[in-house]
Amino acid sequence: MSDDSDAKQVRSIFISDLHLGTRGAQADLVLEFLRAYDAPTIYLVGDIIDGWRLKSGWYFPQSHNDVVQKLLRKVRKGSKLIYVTGNHDDFLRDYTGLQFGGITLVDDIVHETADGKRMLVIHGDLFDLVVRNAKWLALLGDWAYTIALFLNHGINRVRRVLRLPHWSLSAWAKHKVKNAVNYIGEFEQCLADEARRHKADGVICGHIHHAAQRDIDGLTYINTGDWVESCTAVVEHDDGRFEIVRWPQHRLKGERPVLPAPAATRPAPVPSLVEAARGMLPKSGNQFWGKIMPRRFELARILGAQPEPAERKAR
């Protein structure tokens, strides 16, 4: 089943908020991580492809396509891929419940750990009042976040010259600004309450770009973080134990950074979920081009499999 012979085998991988299609996505580091770890089940916990940003201008370099192709290759090698939709890839929410080969699209799902615990896996945006009730404000915040990343890039260029470690402006703000700290705390409590409603033992989510693992009122709260700044993922070991992997700090012993392939051997971009996403992006508002059924079979053609109906989980 292993995609890379020297990859570390774990039971499950949870990764979210790659934001492919944005200039801030750390696609090369994502690819390093996917080459270093392998699992029979991989959960993409939302905001993998950033539809919000792609609507305003198409940006999808080869490195981003390489990540998509790497995930699809893991599926071909036998891994099961569960794609949990988020707010930035909400164009896929009309297709939840469909299966394409080894890929399943869901809004949320319950994962059973090796030691028998039930973990609700959900992106978490549905518990963000700004995203739900004032999307224009969420979009404004998204642009402000992009500006913060741009400023952060300049700051860290100076810090590298001074041989100082990487520093995150937005992470600093999240920890220092009282409202941001309160927002994170309220978000975590809401997700823990949702896990309890599902009679689960805990929750695994993303959305707020803040990796964490803690106990909340007897429930396990885990946030996978993001791959724009913190570059974190969560793995489940064979004994059911969860671990936050921080990349590149957690590179396996003796492992070297992944270098881009030479231009002569680098594969040309091929049709993928990305192209399907491009075709499904709305011209305006929430109206999608075409109807659901034609798009459903277009996704199947791209993935090389016919869609199969999957039972929707009772909410």
Q: What is the pLDDT of residues 91-111, one digit of tens each?
A: 999 999 998 878 999 999 999
Query: Could you give the count of Cα atoms lying within 13 Å of 109 in the half-sphere of its Cβ?
Result: 23
Global model pTM greater than 0.85: no
Mean residue pLDDT across the chain: 77
pLDDT at 143: 55
How many other C-beta atoms are found inside a 10 Å radius of the C-beta of residue 245? 23
Q: Is 259 exposed, middle or buried (CB count within 10 Å of its CB: 0-12, 13-18, 19+)?
A: exposed
Rounded to whole angstroms, the Cα distance separating 66 from 57 reads: 20
Give the count of alpha carbons within 13 A of 90, CB side only: 17
Burial class (CB in 10 A: 0-12, 13-18, 19+), 149: middle
Task: Compute φ and ψ for 138, nearest 5 degrees.
Answer: -65, -40
What is the predicted pLDDT for the residue at 76?
Answer: 95
**Of 113, 109, 122, 86, nearest to 310 (Cα)?**
109
Question: Of 204, 241, 252, 194, nearest to 225 (Cα)?
Answer: 204
Q: Which residues pair with 156 in a beta bridge?
A: none
Q: Which residue has tokens 């949870």?
A: 14
Alpha-carbon span 43 to 56, nearest angstrom: 28
DSSP string, 63-123: HHHHHHHHHHHHHHTT-EEEEE--STTGGGGGGTTEEETTEEEESEEEEEPTTS-EEEEE-
Strand, helix or coil for residue 205: strand
Q: What is the pLDDT along the chain (315 residues), one digit of tens a residue?
A: 556 778 999 999 999 999 999 988 999 999 999 999 999 999 999 999 999 888 888 999 999 999 999 999 999 999 999 999 999 998 999 999 998 878 999 999 999 999 999 999 999 988 865 444 444 444 545 555 565 556 666 666 776 677 766 556 555 555 554 444 456 778 899 999 999 999 999 999 999 988 999 999 999 999 999 998 889 999 999 999 999 999 988 775 445 555 454 444 444 444 455 555 555 454 443 333 343 444 444 444 444 444 455 444 444
| CATH numbers and ranges of domains, the chain | 8-309 (3.60.21.10)
Closest listed residue to residue 213, CA positions, set 14, 30, 36: 14
134: left (phi over 0), alpha (psi -120 to 50) or beta: beta
Two tokens, residue 133: 């009730």
Within 10 A of 175 (CB to CB), how many other CB atoms are there?
A: 12
What span, in angstroms and rounded, lies between the C-alpha atoms of 273 and 230? 25
Greatest CA separation for the chain? 56
Q: How far is CA 114 from the centre of its chain?
A: 23
Per the CB < 8 A criterion, the answer to whether 236 and 114 are in contact is yes
